[in-house]
Amino acid sequence: MFSFNDTYDAIANTRLHPWVEGFKKAVHKRMADYTHGNISQWIELIKKLPDITPDQIDITNKVSIGSRSQLSDTEFEQLEHLLKQFHPWRKGPYHLFGQHIDTEWRSDWKWDRIKNHISPLDDKIVLDVGCGNGYHCWRMAAQNPKLVLGIDPSQLFLMQFAIMQKYLSDYPVHYLPIGLEYMPQNLDRQGFDTIFSMGVLYHRRSPIDHILHLKNLLKPGGELVLETLVVDGEDDQCLIPRDRYAQMNNVWFIPTTGMLKNWMRKCGLEDVQVANVSTTSTEEQRATDWMTFQSLEHYLDPQDKNLTIEGYPAPKRAFMVARKPLQKKA
Ligand SMILES: Nc1ncnc2c1ncn2[C@@H]1O[C@H](C[S@+](CC[C@H]([NH3+])C(=O)[O-])CC(=O)[O-])[C@@H](O)[C@H]1O
């Protein structure tokens, strides 16, 4: 079985310590729900990763671990074969001993869009909600935080995270395989300094409750970085897809940036800023050798790339940055 003891110890060393037992219960419950037949096979595969110390690590400009020269040709091929058993690789890219894991998403582009709009993360306690395989958590770690905690319910992404963590265990980055609903309801003064919620809000049936929960997990004065799908339009407009949106069957609310600002202010956040808006291109999200299923190109109208296959506006994403007030409003 997978051990999270290092994660619990890391959390216990911060002001989040009263919540360790709650996290343990949540993970226990979540692991009991795991039904994926591959999990024990994946754990065995991870044990077969090269047992060598990387001669270089770069998490500042990309996530790059070790060099090609550290492996023989046979070991290099074996590594590729092993890593491909963790298909699909969605978030990245990663460079592991010269293996370029060319993921479906250029998650580095997303990071480049926001990194200059956030407060510095040094010595901060950071939460990344819906962190996928943890790509952005490693990029956050380059800023010397006290702790980065990534949470995501996916078993496969936990395994992909564990692959990188084998070589990056000196960084204070930890992962719990839980959804936001397993987190405490309110942390107040013990809360996180910065919370990222990227690519999650539109999957939530109740976006206001999601934002409120994030706010309640921040300490007073803490920063929320929220990225989600948006549509063009007036401040009081929001798209609720009839059925699928870009073939995703779990998309609920796609607001305009004006509507999103309104939601965030209504939840009691202040200094709400639109940091970036960008249309997702088929260069940013595409099928590769490491994610061979269909991707964005197949979800767009073949006659008009400005529309999804269902006739909605093509995916556009906004980054919002906001602050929890220092004082509770009277
Ligand atoms: N209840 C939940 N609680 C937490 N996470 C969840 C939940 N439900 C699903 N997820 C997770 O939320 C992630 C959404 S992807 C964003 C990844 C990264 N943040 C990115 O910005 O690249 C979507 C995208 O690519 O836009 C998935 O990893 C889910 O498992």
- ipTM (interface pTM): 0.99
pLDDT at 241: 98
pLDDT value for 107: 98
pLDDT of residue 62: 98
Q: For position 32, what pLDDT does the model report? A: 81
> Which residues are paired to 23 by β-bridges?
none
Q: Which stretch of DSSP H or E encloses residue 220?
A: strand 218-229
> Cα–Cα distance between 330 and 324 in angstroms, integer?
14
By alpha-carbon position, which residue is closest to atom 12 of ligand 1?
130
Give residue 126 CA to ligand 1 midpoint distance, Å: 16
Mean pLDDT by 10 residues, the chain (330 residues): 90 96 92 76 95 98 98 98 98 98 98 98 98 98 98 96 98 97 92 98 98 98 98 97 97 98 98 98 98 98 98 98 87
Instruction: State the pLDDT at residue 34.
Output: 72
Question: Domain 5-323 falls in which CATH fold?
Answer: Rossmann fold (3.40.50)
Q: Which mutation among 152, 180, 226 tests ligand 1's pocket best, with the greatest number of atoms within 8 A of CB? A: 152
Collapsing DSSP to helix, strand or coil, 222 comes out as strand
Output the pLDDT for position 35.
67
Determine whether the annotation assigns residue 24 to a binding site. Answer: no
Q: How far is the CA of 322 from the centre of ligand 1 (A)?
A: 20
Cα 243 to its chain centre, rounded Å, is: 25
Q: What Cα–Cα distance (Å) separates residue 54 from each residue in 149, 164, 183, 245?
A: 23, 11, 34, 42
The whole-angstrom separation of Cα 30 and Cα 328 is 34
* Residue 90 Cα: closest atom of ligand 1: 25
Among 189, 255, 184, 253, smallest CA distance to 214 is for 184
**In whole angstroms, what separates CA 249 from the centre of its chain?**
20
Phi and psi at 228, nearest 5°, equal: -155, 170
Per-residue model confidence (pLDDT) at position 310: 98
Domain boundaries, given as residue ranges, for the chain: 5-323
State residue 2's pLDDT score. Answer: 77
Q: What are phi and psi of 160, to 5 degrees?
A: -65, -35
Is 181 part of any known ligand binding site?
yes
Nearest CA to ligand 1 atom 8: 179
